[in-house]
Structure formats: C-alpha cells, structure tokens
C-alpha cells in the first residue's frame, strides 16, 4: 500500500512543473558544488606538484654543485656552499611536508581552504615555517566555497521543504484527502507514502549526482578507505535529508494550512541552519578565546632579539650543555653565523613553546566544545561529519600538524648535530636527508566521529516521525 | 447496509446530530433533506469515520465504523458535493489510484470501460482532470464506486450546481447503482431529485430526524409543503 501511494505521488509530482523546477535547481547546485570542490582539489594538487618539482630540482642542483667541488677544496665560505649543513638544512636542501587533499575533498571543502597544507621544513623554530600562508582572496576565504557541503547543509533542506511543506495540507485543501480516506487506507500510510516517495526522489537524485559528479571529478574508489568514507558521506546526507522530511511530516501532521506550514518550516530552517550555528560559534569563541596573535608575535620578537644579543654567550652555553657536539678543533666549517644562529634558535624555541601551547590548548578546547554542541543542530552535526569523512576537518589538519611536528623533530635531529659539530655535509648525507611521508587519518577515528554525528541526526528524525504519526490521530480530515 | 443507532455528535455542548437511528437496506435510496447545518454532512462524515461520534454507533454492513475503519471502507464509495481529484492526472489515472487503494488494480481497458459506463465521454478519459466539469468529475467518482463494487454509497449534495441534464444523468446512475443492490444515503436540497430517485426521504432539523416517509406515498407538491412546514419557526 505504501508503495502504491508513493508511486502515485511520484506520478503527481512528475505532472507538476514546480516539482521539476525544484529538482532542476537541486541538480544544478549539486553539479556546481562538485565543480567548485574539484577546482579546489585541482588547485591543491597543482600546488603540491609545483612544490615537489621545486624540491626535486633544488636537491638535484645542490648535489650537482657539491659534486663539482674538488674534495680538497678550501673550507666553505659562501652562504650557498652545499657542504655546509646549515645551508642544506635551512635553505638549499629544504624539503616540504605536505598533506594531499582529503580523499573526498571534492565533495566537501568545508574550511579546509583556511588550513595550510604544505610547509617548507627548516632547522629553525617552528614559528619560522608555520606561518607560510597561501595567498587567496580573503573575502572568498571568509564566505567559504560554494562546495557540495554547502549545497547539502544549506540548500538541500530548502529544496526538501519546498517539496514537502504541503504534503498533506495540499491534499486537504484541494479536497483529494477526503476522496483518498474514503478508501480503505490509513492517514499515516498516506503521509508516510508521500514522504517516502519524495525522500526517495530527492535523496536518490542528490546522492546519485554527487557520487557520479565526484567520481568524474577524480575521487579514487580504489584508494584505501575511500569506499567506506563514501558510504559514510552518503549515510550522513541521507540522514540529514531524513531529518528535514521528518520535520515536514511532523509539521504537516499538525493540521495547519499550507501557508502556515511554509512559514513554520522556513523559521525552523533559519533557526537550525543559520542562527544556531552562529550562536554555537559565538559560544565557542567567547568561552575559549584564542590568545591574541599579536601577543604571540610580540613574544617571538622579544625572545629573538634577546637571544641574538646574547649570541656568542648562548653558543658557549650550548656547547656546555651538549659536550658531545663540541666540534674538533680542526672542524672544516667556521663557527659562523649559522652555527651561532642554531644555538640562538634553541633558546627562542624554549621561550615561545608555552605561548604556542596556549594556542593549541585553546583550539583543542574549542573543538571539544564543538564536539558536544554540534548535536544542538543537525546542520552543524552534518557539516562536521561531512568534513570528517571527506578529509577536510580540523581533526585531519591537526593530525597533519602532529606529523609536521614529528618531522620537524626528525629534521632537527638530523641536521643540528651536524651543524653544531661543524661537519662538512658529505655526498652520502644528501641521500639521508629525511623525507616527509603523509599518513592519512585512520579510518577508525573518522568513522567513530561520523557515526556519532549520524546518531545525532537519526535520533531527532525518529522522534519527529513518531511524534508526527502520533499527532495524526487528531488530524482534522473533515473541518467544522 | 447502513445503520445508525442513537448516533450523536455534539460540538461544545451543541448537538450537530442528535440521536439519529436509521437503517438503509441494500437497494434503498435514502434522501436526507434539511437546511444547511441540519446535520446531513455530519451524518455522512460519521459514516466515513472522519469525525468521532459523541454517542451511538454507525455501522456499515454490520461493522462499527470506528472499530473497523478499513473494512467498512472497502465497499463504501463517497461522492462529496465537489468530487476533488488530482488535477494533473487523467481520469484513468485518478480512477486507477482510488481503485488500487481499495485493493483493485485495474487495467487501462477496465478503467476506460468503468469511466464510460459512468457516463464519461471516451475521449475525456485520457485528459487531465483539471479540464473536467463538475459533472464529469462526479462521473469519475461513480466509476470509482463501480470499480470497487461498492455496497454502500454516501452522497453529499451531489446534484447541487449541476445543470438539469447532468443532474438527470446523475439520477440515472443512482438508479443503476441501486438496482445493483447498493444502499445509498444522499444528502440533498433538491426535493424534486429526492422524490425522483429516492425510495425514502427523511427531513432533518437541528440535528434531529423529524420525519421519514416513502417517496411512493407522497406527491412532489405535498413533499415540498411538508418540508416547508418543518422549516417554519
């Protein structure tokens, strides 16, 4: 019976021009969203390719220069001399630590365009490389991209409401409800059948187009974890759509006029999609404000200038602390600026560390609060889940940053002893320069968080549906 | 068979229908007369289980409509004053849907022949219903009743607004249904039609059935006189 009602409803929709317009709008915005997302992914990939190309050609040139120097040549004097470990570590031999775009980044860019995705590694402090920003139009960054995530979170509910706000009220208003209920069929079957038909149509279309579009845009299904992520993406969108249909169902069950339904539902959309996320954002930033960036920069400057003044003193101090790095008296490289700088860096690092840590702590607290508050509105729960499974979340960025930190440590451990011992950088050493290899966020972590979000969507949908069906008992079929 | 026993519906203490007791046998056409607000539509809505009775029982084929809402509708057809159909679908598609809800999947040919039997021009069956006149939509309603082989027909002022020819055609259809053994309850303002097609008439006033008589026992002029007498005061 449900299927028969659903089939009939689809037939009615097919004969209605307004429904076609809504469907066309949905298809158009999904296509545009995928296009924008894949443009961003292609930009990232092109940037990373350019970066890799730069790194490779620089290292080839460096090695060629090193080979050109006779083994018994005089001690290096040039700031570009390839035999000086400080030169290799801090300029000519720098490697990049880069994160590829998330596995489904074309489907949800989210705020990933605000996170840096590659760093030029150096033997200096973290501060010197962490601030390498991408140049992008700030107004674009502020508004965010018209990506598929935006289409799903903001536009998708409007289209659903446009298609379902008068599911039942229109039947009553045009008089067909009485004819229908004069047949042996329950009101709840009529409403459920119609909701299922419309949900089936919209979800199939939206998800089908999104998946096809993203495969065309280059999402690689054979890559590890991608089918599972795609499955979670689909489940999240389906659950989010189900929430809006459940809401429309519940409002229709109140027995109000179509126009009233429309006003009520649009108000819900405003409250849940526009206002609540803004309030959550205000709550998060005012409860756990991030320390001023000016304060951080000030601390760095102060520490640097103080350390520089103490320059040679710090170097002596350094060797006192690290007697094993004390260079032989016949060391081939002079105790030049670079060596001194290395000693200074360490002091600066130690001074700045607590200031940086405060940043990270506050960010972690913010994310923790978002984790809890996201359940207040399906819009935030969905956005977070989509970011997670697409690999464009803050969580993945932090995962990347932790790897960058580790790599920085490896880099320092490799170069600093060579710098401080004032050794010559040998040809073998070039092959041993550490390389960064990005490890994707583990699927289990992604799936756990996305599953929480899914639950936060399914539970209210179920409650709304059940409440709606219960309300139908008092539905005024015949007015008085 | 239709049966009301002490059927009462009150809204905020005012009786819209007051202790109606009535039995309509198969093949009978019972016409309910009365002013607007006399309780005619309330009676029909109670039989349809669209509203709940305050007291008493409405039975269709012996089953209480509130306890067996689905079974009682399996063989019931309802034709309101305005038969409202899905405007963007054709007559055939509308009939298909309502018959399917009643548990009967029709073929295209079956649908068309029911519509033609109900008096719809064959060329109109494949047209969108929004181009139909009121009379044509009612014929689709009759076709639904025929397709589901209704034992019971509830009609709410079906002939108001129809031109005399359409009205006459409608009476023919009522007669056809009644000859097949359908029990028919028709609320109407049309005394002439009531006398012509009804086997019995009942006059309602303020929710009470105040008079019941066989149409054979009374002439048209006398029926009108009687009706107006009741409406006085």
Q: Which residues of A touch B76 (CB under 8 A)?
A: 182
Strand order across the B55-60 sheet: B14-24, B2-11, B55-60, B63-64
Q: What's the pLDDT score for residue A137?
A: 58
* Cα end-to-end span (Å), chain B: 35
Q: Which residues of A touch B128 (CB under 8 A)?
A: 15
Contacts of A467 (CB under 8 A, 6+ apart): A250, A253
- SS3 of B173, please? helix
Is A8 in Cβ contact with B11 (below 8 Å)? no
Cα angle value A181/A183/A185 (rounded, 5°): 70
- SS3 of B126, please? coil
CB proximity B87 to A under 8 Å:
yes
CB proximity A184 to B under 8 Å:
yes
Q: Are B80 and A175 in contact (CB under 8 A)?
A: yes
Which one, of A150, A132, A130, lies nearest residue A140 by Cα?
Answer: A150
Is residue A240 pLDDT above 90, yes or no? yes
What ipTM does the predicted assembly reach? 0.93
Q: Are A415 and A85 in contact (CB under 8 A)?
A: yes
Q: What's the pLDDT score for residue A268?
A: 97
The whole-angstrom separation of Cα A109 and Cα A38 is: 9
CA torsion, ordered B14, B53, B22, B25, to nearest 10 deg:
150
pLDDT tens digits along A65-85: 888 887 666 666 667 788 888
From the list A11, A12, A179, the residue facing B98 with the nearest CB is A179
CA torsion, ordered A130, A136, A142, A145, to nearest 10 deg:
-110
CA torsion, ordered A315, A321, A323, A326, to nearest 10 deg:
-10
Q: What's the pLDDT score for residue B179?
A: 93
Residue of B nearest to A6 (CA): B97
Of A342 and A168, the structure prediction assigns the larger pLDDT to: A168
Q: Are B179 and B29 in contact (CB under 8 A)?
A: no
Q: Which residues of B touch A183 (CB under 8 A)?
A: 73, 98, 101-102, 148
CB proximity B100 to A under 8 Å:
yes
Q: Indicate the pLDDT class of residue A335, thresholds 50, 70 and 90.
A: low
Is B100 in Cβ contact with A175 (below 8 Å)? no
Residue entry with tokens 């923790």: A368
CB proximity A183 to B under 8 Å:
yes
Q: Kindly state the average pLDDT of the residues A293-316.
A: 77
Give CA A259 to chain center in angstroms: 39
Give the CA distances from residue B174 to residues A480, B170, B181, in Å, rounded to whole numbers and listed in that order: 28, 6, 11
Give CA B138 to chain center in angstroms: 11
Q: Which residues of B touch A178 (CB under 8 A)?
A: 48, 50, 78, 80, 84
Q: Which residues of B touch A182 (CB under 8 A)?
A: 48, 73, 76-78, 154
Q: What is the pairing mode between strands B76-79 and B29-34? A: unpaired
Is residue A15 pLDDT above 80, yes or no? yes
Q: What's the pLDDT score for residue B154?
A: 95
DSSP class of residue B90? B
CB proximity B145 to A under 8 Å:
no
> Which one of A179, A197, A474 would you mutate to disrupt binding with B, by most B Cβ within 10 Å of its Cβ?
A179
Token pair belonging to B82: 């305005």
The whole-angstrom separation of Cα A132 and Cα A124 is: 14
Is residue A480 pLDDT above 60, yes or no? no
Domains and CATH numbers, chain B: 2-75+151-232 (3.40.50.300), 86-149 (no CATH)
Kindly tell me the burial class for residue A74, based on how many C-beta atoms sit within 10 Å of its own C-beta (0-12, 13-18, 19 or more).
Answer: exposed
Residue entry with tokens 């809402």: B69
From the list B70, B82, B97, the residue facing A175 with the nearest CB is B82
From the list A11, A184, A480, the residue facing B70 with the nearest CB is A184
Q: Which residues of B touch A15 (CB under 8 A)?
A: 88-89, 128
Is A176 in Cβ contact with B101 (below 8 Å)? no
The whole-angstrom separation of Cα A479 and Cα A252 is: 16
Is B48 in Cβ contact with A181 (below 8 Å)? yes
CA distance A161 to chain B (A): 21
Is residue B88 pLDDT above 70, yes or no? yes
Q: What is the pairing mode between strands B2-11 and B208-214? A: unpaired
DSSP class of residue B128? B
Residue entry with tokens 């849907």: B97
Q: What's the pLDDT score for residue A164?
A: 94
Residue of A nearest to B45 (CA): A478
Token pair belonging to A101: 């775009």
Q: Kindly state the average pLDDT of the residues A242-251.
A: 97
CB proximity B73 to A under 8 Å:
yes
The whole-angstrom separation of Cα A440 and Cα A105 is: 13
User: Global pTM?
Assistant: 0.90
CA distance A196 to chain B (A): 17
Q: Kindly state the average pLDDT of the residues A9-31.
A: 90
Q: Which residues of A touch B41 (CB under 8 A)?
A: 478
CB proximity A354 to B under 8 Å:
no
Token pair belonging to A312: 């040679």
Q: What's the pLDDT score for residue A214?
A: 82
Contacts of A328 (CB under 8 A, 6+ apart): A421
Question: How many residues make up chain B in this entry?
Answer: 233
The whole-angstrom separation of Cα A321 and Cα A313 is: 12
> Which one of B86, B126, B155, B207 would you mutate to disrupt binding with A, by most A Cβ within 10 Å of its Cβ?
B86
Q: What is the pairing mode between strands B55-60 and B63-64? A: antiparallel
From the list A1, A15, A477, the residue facing B88 with the nearest CB is A15
User: How many alpha carbons fall within 13 Å on the CB side of residue B167?
Assistant: 17
Q: Indicate the pLDDT class of residue A324, thresholds 50, 70 and 90.
A: confident
Q: What's the pLDDT score for residue A450?
A: 93
Q: Indicate the pLDDT class of residue B108, thresholds 50, 70 and 90.
A: very high
CB proximity A262 to B under 8 Å:
no
Q: What's the pLDDT score for residue A126?
A: 76
Which range, of A248-252, B5-9, B19-23, B227-231, averages the lowest pLDDT?
B227-231
pLDDT tens digits along A86-143: 888 888 899 999 999 999 998 988 888 888 889 999 888 777 777 655 555 566 656 6
Is B87 in Cβ contact with A179 (below 8 Å)? no
Is B141 in Cβ contact with A175 (below 8 Å)? no
> Which one of B81, B88, B102, B137 would you mutate to disrupt binding with A, by most A Cβ within 10 Å of its Cβ?
B88
Q: Which residues of B touch A185 (CB under 8 A)?
A: 70, 73, 101
CA distance A371 to chain B (A): 47
CB proximity B147 to A under 8 Å:
no
CA distance B24 to chain A (A): 19
CA distance A257 to chain B (A): 18
pLDDT tens digits along B151-189: 999 999 988 888 888 888 888 889 988 999 999 999 999
Give the CA distances from residue A135 to residues A42, A43, A48, A140, A288, in Å, rounded to whole numbers and listed in that order: 16, 12, 15, 11, 28
List the 304-343 stretch of A: residues with Cβ below 8 A of B.
Answer: none
Token pair belonging to A156: 């998708």
Q: Are A206 and A158 in contact (CB under 8 A)?
A: no
Of A243 and A365, the structure prediction assigns the larger pLDDT to: A243
Q: What is the 3-state secondary structure (H, E, C) of chain A?
A: CHHHHHHHHHHHHHCCHHHHHHHHHHHHHHHHHHHHHHHHHHHHHHHHHHHHHHHHHHHHHHHHHHHHCCCCCCCCCCCCCCCCHHHHHHHHCCCEEECCCCCCCCCCCCCHHHCCCEEECCCCCHHHHHCCCCCCCHHHHHHCCCCHHHHHHHHHHHHHHHHHCCCCHHHHHHCHHHHHHCCCCCHHHHHHHHHHHHHHHHHHHHHHHHHHHHHHCCCCCCCCCHHHHHHHHHHHHHHHHHHHHHHHHHHHHCCCCHHHHHHHHHHHHHHHHHHHHHHHHHHHHHHCCCCCHHHHHHHHHHHHHHHHHHHHHHHHHHHHHCHHHCCCCCCCCCCCHHHHHHHHHHHHHHHHHHHHHHHHHHHHHHHHHHHHHHHHCHHHHHHHHHHHHHCCCHHHHHHHHHHHHHHHHHHHHHHHHHHHCCCCCCHHHHHHCCCCCCCCCCHHHHHHHHHHHHHHHHHHHHHHHHHHHHHHHHCCCCCC
- SS3 of B140, please? helix
Q: Indicate the pLDDT class of residue A194, thresholds 50, 70 and 90.
A: very high
- Nearest-10 crossing angle of helices A2-14, A187-216: 60
Kindly tell me the burial class for residue A393, based on how many C-beta atoms sit within 10 Å of its own C-beta (0-12, 13-18, 19 or more).
Answer: buried
Q: Indicate the pLDDT class of residue A220, thresholds 50, 70 and 90.
A: confident
Is A181 in Cβ contact with B50 (below 8 Å)? yes
Bridge partners (DSSP) of residue B2 are B24, B60
């Amino acid at each position: 019976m449900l299927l028969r009602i659903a089939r009939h409803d689809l037939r009615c929709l097919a004969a209605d021009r307004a429904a076609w317009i809504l469907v066309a709008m949905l298809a158009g915005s999904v296509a545009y969203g995928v296009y924008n997302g894949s443009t961003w992914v292609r930009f990232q990939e092109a940037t990373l390719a350019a970066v890799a190309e730069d790194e490779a050609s620089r290292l080839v040139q460096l090695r060629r220069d090193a080979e050109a120097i006779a083994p018994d040549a005089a001690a290096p004097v040039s700031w570009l001399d390839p035999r000086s470990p400080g030169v290799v570590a801090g300029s000519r031999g720098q490697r990049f630590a880069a994160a590829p775009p998330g596995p489904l980044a074309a489907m949800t860019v989210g705020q990933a365009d605000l996170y840096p995705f590659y760093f030029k590694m150096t033997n200096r402090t973290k501060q010197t490389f962490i601030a390498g920003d991408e140049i992008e139009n700030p107004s674009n960054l502020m508004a965010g991209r018209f990506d598929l995530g935006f289409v799903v979170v903001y536009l998708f509910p409007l289209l659903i409401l446009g298609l379902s706000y008068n599911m039942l009220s229109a039947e009553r208003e045009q008089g067909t409800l009485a004819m229908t209920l004069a047949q042996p069929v329950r009101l709840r079957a009529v409403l459920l059948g119609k909701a299922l038909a419309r949900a089936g149509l919209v979800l199939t279309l939206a998800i089908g187009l999104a998946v096809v579009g993203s495969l065309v845009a280059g999402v690689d299904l054979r890559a590890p974890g991608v089918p599972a992520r795609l499955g979670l993406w689909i489940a999240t969108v389906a659950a989010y759509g189900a929430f809006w249909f459940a809401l429309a169902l519940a409002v229709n069950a109140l027995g109000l006029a179509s126009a009233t339904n429309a006003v009520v539902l649009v108000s819900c959309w405003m409250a849940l999609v526009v206002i609540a996320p803004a309030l959550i954002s205000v709550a998060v930033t005012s409860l756990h404000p991030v320390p001023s960036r000016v304060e951080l920069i000030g601390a760095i400057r102060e520490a640097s200038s103080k350390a520089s003044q103490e320059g040679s003193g710090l170097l002596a101090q350094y060797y006192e602390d690290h007697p094993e790095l004390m260079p032989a008296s016949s060391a081939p490289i002079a105790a030049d600026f670079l060596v001194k700088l290395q000693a200074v860096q360490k002091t600066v690092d130690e001074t700045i560390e607590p200031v940086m840590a405060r940043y990270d702590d506050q960010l972690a607290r913010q994310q923790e609060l978002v984790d809890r508050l996201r359940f207040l509105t399906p819009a935030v729960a969905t956005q977070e889940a989509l970011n997670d499974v697409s690999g464009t979340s803050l969580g993945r960025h932090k995962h990347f940053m932790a790897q960058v930190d580790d790599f920085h440590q490896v880099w320092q451990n490799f170069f600093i002893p060579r710098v401080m011992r004032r050794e010559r950088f040998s040809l073998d050493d070039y092959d041993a320069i550490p390389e960064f290899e990005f490890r994707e966020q583990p699927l289990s972590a992604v799936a756990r968080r996305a599953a929480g979000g899914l639950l936060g969507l399914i539970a209210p949908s179920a409650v709304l549906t059940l409440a709606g069906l219960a309300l139908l008992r008092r539905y005024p079929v015949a007015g008085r | 068979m239709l049966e009301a026993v002490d059927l009462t519906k009150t809204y905020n203490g005012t009786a819209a229908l007051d202790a109606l007791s009535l039995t309509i046998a198969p093949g009978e056409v019972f016409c309910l007369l009365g002013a607007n607000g006399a309780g005619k539509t309330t009676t029909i809505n109670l039989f349809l289980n669209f509203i709940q009775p305050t007291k008493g029982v409405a039975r269709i084929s012996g089953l209480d409509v509130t306890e067996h809402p689905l079974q009682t509708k399996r063989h019931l057809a309802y034709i309101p004053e305005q038969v409202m159909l899905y405007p963007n679908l054709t007559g055939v598609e509308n009939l298909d849907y309502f018959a399917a809800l009643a548990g009967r999947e029709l073929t295209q040919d079956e649908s068309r022949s029911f519509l033609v039997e109900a008096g719809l021009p064959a060329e109109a069956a494949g047209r969108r219903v929004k181009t139909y006149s009121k009379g044509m939509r009612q014929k689709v309603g009759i076709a639904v009743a025929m397709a589901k082989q209704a034992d019971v027909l509830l009609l709410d002022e079906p002939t108001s607004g129809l031109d005399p020819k359409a009205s006459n055609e409608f009476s023919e259809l009522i007669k056809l249904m009644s000859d097949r053994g359908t029990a028919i309850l028709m609320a109407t303002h049309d005394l002439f039609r009531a006398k012509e097609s009804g086997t019995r008439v009942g006059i309602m006033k303020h929710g009470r059935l105040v008079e019941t008589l066989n149409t054979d026992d009374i002439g048209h002029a006398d029926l009108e006189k009687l009706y107006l007498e009741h409406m006085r005061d």
